[in-house]
Amino acid sequence: MKIVMLGAPGAGKGTQAQMIADKYNIPHISTGDIFRFNIKNGTALGKEAKSYMDEGKLVPDELTVRMLLDRVSDEDCRDGYILDGFPRTIPQAYALTGELGKTGDKIDFAIDVDVPDENIVRRMGGRRACQSCGSTYHVEYAKPRQEGVCDRCGGKLVLRDDDKPETVSRRLEVYHEQTQPLIDYYKKANVLHSVDGTCDINVVFADIVKILEG
């Protein structure tokens, strides 16, 4: 069971990916984690990636795919895996499909967690993070016991720059331009399934399970 998670920033795909990973005992893999692992451990791939990053350049898709394939070749991926945050663009999707195809492999499901932009702006704009311990809250869905104060450590809760409406709107513009075409790509490959991401997370998860278990 090889799954790609799709959806705009703030749609909740990371949460769903982790719930799927826990239920089916398969790895939840993000490109960020792969980059950090390879760079921290000084692997050949990590050193190559770091050379681009040190020059302020984007890591080429081909190298990112190589790191990804190296990760999914591990024993814990034998029964499948969930990719979260990759591919982000059509060229990355082509590169991934091509490399997997060399070993007769392919993506089985592309799950699109669909949430309207206005919901995402409201959802992310309501997030609050503790300046001290990093705990997160929401002004509507996960309120602290005392407004503006972290339940865990008593630290001050703030709206992060990444969650400000203007920043979220810019991120959504980039998503629609670069990443949303992946929905059409995987639709043509007959592996795309969409779920209503505005529902309760447990309802969304139940819908995804129905898809995976067909």
Q: What is the dihedral of CA 190, 180, 124, 83, to 10 degrees?
A: 50
Comparing CA positions, the residue from 127, 184, 190 lying closest to residue 159 is: 127
Residue-range domain boundaries for the chain: 2-27+74-116+167-213
Active site residues: 13, 88, 127, 160, 171
The mean pLDDT of 155-171, rounded to a whole number, is 92
Top CATH class of 2-27+74-116+167-213 equals alpha beta
For 187, counting Cβ atoms within 10 Å of its Cβ (0-12 exposed, 13-18 middle, 19+ buried), the class is: middle
Average pLDDT (166-172) is 91
The upper half-sphere exposure of residue 213, i.e. CA atoms within 13 Å in the direction of its Cβ, equals: 9
Give CA–CA dist 14/6, Å, rounded.
9
pLDDT of residue 57: 87
Q: Is the pLDDT of residue 1 over 90?
A: yes
pTM over 0.85: no
Q: Is the pLDDT of residue 23 over 90?
A: yes
Strand partners, 127: 138
pLDDT for residue 147 is more than 90: yes
Q: What is the pLDDT of residue 156?
A: 96
Q: Quick check: 62 pLDDT over 90?
A: no
- 199 pLDDT higher than 90: yes
